[in-house]
Structure 1
């Protein structure tokens, strides 16, 4: 069975390597990331690290780009003046990226290992006791590229605005605000759809109908697929999605068979095998 891994690089190559002993895995990224053209805002925020009760990274890419712009933070938790700032992550991949930057494990909070999902909602169950009125929380995220058609971009750094109930980081910001916290967002990198050539289009078109299993880890990636192949029928396509919201996006695109799995190797493999 062939599995189409749609994660951004280098994560896609890593997952291809992990899956290859069990199936024919092929990388076809549906997201690309790049550094900001101007990182001065990131550097300014990095200098205020100790002002925050917690810093939440939405992904491993947010971690990597943030610390590249703030190399002085590498040793911030060493020595007598180490800050109390907690570091929040939504899952094990982001957690590993934080540890690789020198943040000690005792400062990192993440969803429980046996959590049904790795997301902001599960993270909140672990960290809600840390928040007191007036506490400041920074959420580090990505932003759409200028050439990406998927909607408006927020300001590079901005307080979270009140609004209707959202999901993911928006839900977390709203929940934090309701608990009395002050929430800031900062953009650490740009993301957008990849540029496909003839070979990528041919692979995707074939995989839409030949029994391949698409592995989706982002609803945005599913939206990019719709843009890249706007006239493609997905009525014979199959997918494994690593979150309910991603599964909903795949079904909305027209995927005939979609199963959900936690984003761990064992759970993903089990879901792929369930489609055999």
Structure 2
């Protein structure tokens, strides 16, 4: 029997393992191949300062489960989240908030069956709440995100732009660093092997694809196969020269069904 092509999950290591296990439970042959390294900041004084603003915010928006993890780790004793809403772009971030003790009734996120988990989907959920809050007076939203290895904030600013256009004051806080991993010789060889064995690279971030290109500049991307969880990621992969790019759902079960249909 011919073996099924592997799906190489490029999420950070902490998320890649559970995602691989979940895909395997759905009947997908998957392997972890982390292409984003998550690290704590050298010191947490800026996060401590950000926590002081939470009681006065309309909401704290978390870009990822890692944003939740590092931000909540810096929570001061007695700091209250009961009156502040938390915004999440997807179920992983929402689950991290619940695990960290944020009240379920204070969390806003796209529905679990949403076609996409992104800023646009979140904005559709919170826009009316923002409008009502602004009618009562000035509102502030704190956005918690990561930074790249140079300390520059990582991620899109689309939601911040929507908030600012609505008259909301936006405050940004960096909670962790996102870096390119150093690949082992075995990982380098596995990346090369993917060009000939039908492996599918699963990208939920175009940054991961950039890291692969940096680590393996010799890879002939015209022979590579990729799965993208968002149209923007798919477009960036095509622009980077990937020869075969398919769009798959972001939600796990629907993603597994889509991947199996491509096998």
Structure 1-normalised TM-score?
0.87
1:68 and 2:73 equivalent?
A: yes
Which residue in 2 is equivalent to 1:46? Answer: 51
The answer to which of 90-99 and 20-29 deviates more is 20-29
**Runs (4+) off by over 4 Å:** none
The correspondence for 1:191, drawn from 175, 178, 183, is 178
* 5+ long unaligned stretches in structure 1: 147-151, 156-167
Partner of 1:135: 139
Query: What is the deviation of 1:129?
Result: 1.4
Kindly indicate which of the two structures has a greater share of residues assigned to helix.
2
Equivalent in the alignment of 2:158: 171
Aligned length in residues: 253
Q: Distance in 2 between matches of 1:175 and 1:207?
A: 40
Q: 1:266 aligns with which of 228, 253, 256?
A: 253
Alignment of 1:1-276 (within 5 A): 1=4, 2-21=6-25, 22-70=27-75, 72=77, 76-77=80-81, 82-83=82-83, 85-131=84-130, 132=134, 134-146=138-150, 153-154=152-153, 169-276=156-263
- For the 8 Å contact 2:57–2:140, the answer to whether it is kept is yes
Question: For the residues of structure 2 that align with 1:260 and 1:97, how far apart are their CA atoms?
Answer: 26
1:212 Cα shift? Answer: 0.7
Deviations 1:187-210 (A, max 9, x none): 000011101110010001111232
CA distance in structure 2 between the partners assigned to 1:24 and 1:273 by the alignment: 9
CA contact (8 A) 2:113 2:251 kept: no
Instruction: Give distance in 2, aligned partners of 1:258 and 1:72.
Output: 47
Whole-Å Cα distance in 1 between the matches of residues 114 and 92 of structure 2? 15
Aligned residues: CA RMSD: 1.8
Q: Distance in 1 between matches of 2:199 and 2:76?
A: 42
**Secondary structure at 2:214 match in 1:** helix
Give the direction of change, closer, same or farther, for the CA distance of 1:88–1:177 in structure 2 (3 Å limit): same
Contact 1:214 / 1:240 at 8 angstroms: preserved in 2?
A: yes
- What secondary structure is seen at the aligned counterpart in 2 of 1:262? coil
Q: Distance in 2 between matches of 1:89 and 1:9?
A: 21
